[in-house]
Amino acid sequence: MANKISVLLVDDHSLVRRGFRRILEDEPDIAIAGEASDGEEAVKLARELKPEVIVMDCALPGINGLQATRKILALLPSVKILMLSMHTEETWVHQALEAGAKGYILKNAMDLDLASAVRKVAAGETVLDPQVAKTANLKGERDYGLTERELEILQYIVDGKSNKEIASDLNLSTNTVAVHRANIMDALGLHKTAELVVYAIRNGLVNIP
């Protein structure tokens, strides 16, 4: 599996898993590390196999895909999770991204390009199905002009960290963090940290613990 993107498939329907496996096994740069049929098994296999990407069904028996995503990312924060769902509602998409998923695509989409989505999330991109991206005010396409680093620092600010603590965690100078903080405020047209926190949460720019 050297240099291949290792993938764990999670879906409670064996036929669906088999279909996804066939799609992905045809790709020379992707390897299937394993399969799980429910949330508990997904958490267990993620811990054992440490895949690079998990293709996660949203609706699972027992603990659902959102809960499994939170549990897995608490154990393995570097794993990229691509959520598959039948739901187009904005609330589901927000919940998936807040849980830490890097992508949200519809299982029944006619033009579902699973291999491309896996590659994109493996590379750190956020992948949203066009059908949900059009209606939802989401992170990814619309980050209010903030860079990835600024969004990362914004998350720390919302978590209540000081510039010094953020600098230590991200291995930056305190001055660099202060400049980033000022740039974020300027980009969003805000002047106080309290305003910034409320705005970031209200507009889905951060994950809420």
Query: What distance in Å separates the CA atoms of residue 83 and residue 110, rounded to the nearest whole number?
Result: 17
Residue 10 tokens read as: 């999670």
Query: What distance in Å separates the CA atoms of residue 180 and residue 183, rounded to the nearest whole number?
Result: 5
CB atoms inside a 10 Å sphere around CB 148: 10
- In 39-166, at which residue ranges do the beta strands (DSSP E only) sit? 53-57, 80-85, 103-106, 127-128
pLDDT at position 140, please?
A: 43
| H/E segment holding residue 153 | helix 148-158
At 1, the pLDDT band (50, 70, 90 cuts) reads: very low
What is the tens place of the pLDDT at every residue in 167-203?
A: 999 999 999 999 999 988 888 888 888 888 888 887 7
Residue 2 has pLDDT above 70, yes or no: no
What is the tens place of the pLDDT at every residue in 40-65?
A: 999 999 999 999 999 999 888 888 89
Query: Average pLDDT, whole number, for the chain?
Result: 86
| H/E segment holding residue 36 | strand 30-36
Domains within the chain, CATH numbers bracketed: 5-133 (3.40.50.2300), 148-202 (1.10.10.10)
Mean pLDDT, rounded, for 74-88: 90
pTM exceeds cut of 0.75: no
Residue 16 has pLDDT above 50, yes or no: yes
